[in-house]
């Protein structure tokens, strides 16, 4: 997981612990492209801030498209009735035309009010007053997307936080199958656990295949594995299956393959400099890769030494261009392009 992702996860755990212990900030600015962490903190506040019997009097939940800053500030300046505090939550706050004017309230917030500004797929301008004031007096969660190659590590950490252990290949398969949206990963995990026997604590790739509705041979994860091992027949078969999928998108497949060969290139360059690198050196060259897979990269580097890896990275850039309609390739079937690309890589 990226350093930023680790920081956001840690920050949110601390905030949620405080919230559950009845410690609230006057203002929460929850924002960013990745909605999972902002939503997590917001739901914790909604669950713990106001007692159920007094929510009608002391809790206001509104939507940015329907309110003005003046209306939000007016609600935030109300005093609690038969409660310790007032809660005002603005969902989809990025749709407020007067969002920045909430900085006026942040300059002088009430001790008895908790104001939550929840933005989805957007962030407040960090040069302006709202962000600066919220940071000064409250909590700001800025949740950016986890990079594709970091998803397996994020999944492993998430499962560990739930008292579960997921095998590295299962984490990679789950990420490859459901994508990088964290909320979707959590949802699929909940569904998976309901399907598995009660008390299951270890998740294998077979569990993912049976219950998430995927097969490893239909994923780019498996394609990369077979290409790296130079298993030509199986790699070409998998490429044909992937290309025939209704949801297939060549740019996404090429991006995953590019990430793989970029790692192979970096690792190969490391081995040229240091034939016996330390674990720390390996970790830097193979950023985001579970040590469980290091042995596979030892084999991949033997199959694709630096000159060949460089040629393949260049080739992948070319097919990324073709996959996006460049050079008039829009009439060529994307699945055929993937098989063609796979064959060319294997022939390098």
- Is residue 43 domain-shared with residue 135, that is, in the same domain? yes
152 near 175, Cβ under 8 Å? yes
Same domain membership, residue 152 and residue 104:
no
CB 187 within 8 A of CB 39: no
Q: Among the three residues 191, 214, 237, which one is the final residue of a domain in this structure?
A: 214
Contact 174, 208 (CB under 8 A): yes
pTM over 0.75: no
Q: Which of 142, 170, 186 is the last residue of a domain?
A: 142
29 within 8 A of 141, measured Cβ to Cβ: yes
pLDDT digits (tens, 9 = 90+) for 71-92: 999 999 999 998 899 999 999 9
Number of domains comprising the chain: 3
Backbone angles phi, psi at 86, to 5 degrees: -110, 140
One domain for residues 332 and 316: yes
Token pair of 298 as six digits: 């030892």
Residues 9 and 138 in one domain: yes
Residue 32 gets the label, from left (phi > 0), alpha (psi -120 to 50) or beta, of left
Q: Please report the pLDDT score of residue 333 as a whole number.
A: 85
Q: How far is Cα 205 from Cα 226, in angstroms, rounded to an integer? A: 16
The CATH number linked to 103 is 3.40.50.300
Report the alpha-carbon distance of residue 15 to residue 23 in Å, rounded: 9
Cβ-based burial of 291 (10 A; exposed 0-12, middle 13-18, buried ≥19)? exposed
- If asked whether residues 61 and 132 sit together in one domain, one would say yes
Instruction: Name the nearest CA neighbour of 181 among 37, 44, 323, 42.
Output: 37
State whether 298 and 210 are in the same domain: no
CA of 108: how far to CAs of 4, 76, 105, in Å? 30, 11, 6
Task: Answer whether 155's CB lies under 8 Å from 174's CB.
Answer: yes
pLDDT score of 230:
93
- Contact at 8 Å (CB) between 88 and 66? no
Which residues form the domain of 168?
Answer: 148-214
CATH number assigned to the domain comprising residue 273: 1.20.272.10
- Dist CA 64 CA 57 (whole Å): 21
Which residue matches tokens 């939940």?
A: 61
Residues 202 and 236 in one domain: no
Q: Tell me, yes or no, whether 239 and 186 share the same domain.
A: no
pLDDT of the residue at 209: 82
Tell whether 22 and 134 lie within a shared domain.
yes
- Name the residue among 68, 144, 67, 132 with its Cα closest to residue 106: 132
Q: How far apart are CA 18 and CA 23, in angstroms?
A: 5
Q: How far apart are CA 279 and CA 289, in angstroms?
A: 12
**Confidence (pLDDT) at 110:** 95
Looking at the structure, tell me whether residues 194 and 82 fall in a common domain. no
**Cβ–Cβ contacts within 10 Å for residue 73, how many?**
18
Q: Are residues 17 and 123 in the same domain?
A: yes
pLDDT of 216? 47
Residue 157 sits in the same domain as residue 170: yes
Residue 268: which of 294, 300, 291, 315 has the closest Cα?
300
CA 164 to chain centre: 19
Q: Give me the residues of the chain with pLDDT under 50, please.
A: 1-6, 215-217
- Residue 1: its pLDDT value, please? 39
Find the helix or strand (DSSP H, E) in which 264 lies.
helix 250-273
Place of tokens 């933005």: 119
What is the helix (H) or strand (E) element at residue 211, kind and residue range?
helix 205-211
Of 91, 108, 142, the last residue of a domain is: 142
Unique residue bearing structure tokens 């969660």: 141
Q: How far apart are the first and last CA of the chain?
A: 32
Query: Contact, 153 vs 130, CB < 8 A?
Result: no
- Residue among 37, 51, 25, 29 at smallest CA distance from 123: 29
């Amino acid at each position: 997981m990226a350093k930023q992702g680790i920081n956001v996860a840690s920050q949110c755990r601390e905030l949620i612990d405080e919230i559950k212990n009845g410690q609230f900030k006057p203002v929460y600015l929850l924002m960013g492209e990745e909605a999972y962490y902002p939503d997590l903190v917001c739901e914790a506040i909604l669950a713990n801030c106001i007692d159920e019997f007094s929510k009608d009097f002391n809790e206001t939940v509104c939507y940015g498209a329907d309110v003005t800053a003046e209306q939000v500030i007016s609600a935030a300046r109300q005093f609690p009735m038969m409660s310790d505090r007032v809660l005002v939550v603005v969902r989809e706050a990025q749709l407020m035309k007067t969002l920045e004017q909430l900085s006026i309230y942040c300059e002088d917030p009430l001790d008895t009010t908790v104001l939550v500004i929840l933005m989805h797929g957007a962030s407040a301008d960090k040069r302006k007053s709202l962000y600066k004031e919220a940071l000064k007096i409250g909590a700001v969660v800025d949740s950016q997307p986890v990079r594709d190659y970091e998803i397996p590590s994020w999944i492993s950490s998430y499962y560990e936080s739930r008292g579960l252990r997921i095998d590295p290949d299962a984490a990679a398969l789950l990420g490859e199958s459901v994508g990088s949206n964290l909320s979707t990963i959590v949802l699929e995990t909940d569904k998976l656990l309901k399907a598995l026997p009660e008390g299951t604590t270890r998740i294998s790739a077979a569990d993912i295949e049976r219950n998430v509705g995927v097969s490893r041979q239909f994923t780019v994860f498996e394609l990369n594995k077979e290409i790296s091992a130079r298993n030509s027949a199986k790699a070409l078969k998998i490429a044909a299956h992937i290309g025939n999928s209704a949801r297939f998108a060549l740019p996404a497949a090429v991006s995953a393959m590019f990430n793989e060969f970029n790692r192979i290139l970096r690792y190969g360059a490391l081995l040229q400099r240091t034939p016996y690198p330390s674990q720390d050196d390996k970790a830097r060259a193979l950023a985001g890769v579970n040590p469980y897979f290091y042995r596979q990269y030892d084999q991949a580097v033997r199959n694709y030494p630096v000159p060949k890896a460089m040629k393949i990275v260049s080739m992948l850039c070319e097919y990324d261009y073709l996959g996006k309609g460049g050079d008039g390739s829009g009439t060529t079937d994307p699945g055929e392009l993937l098989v063609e690309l796979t064959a060319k890589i294997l022939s390098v």
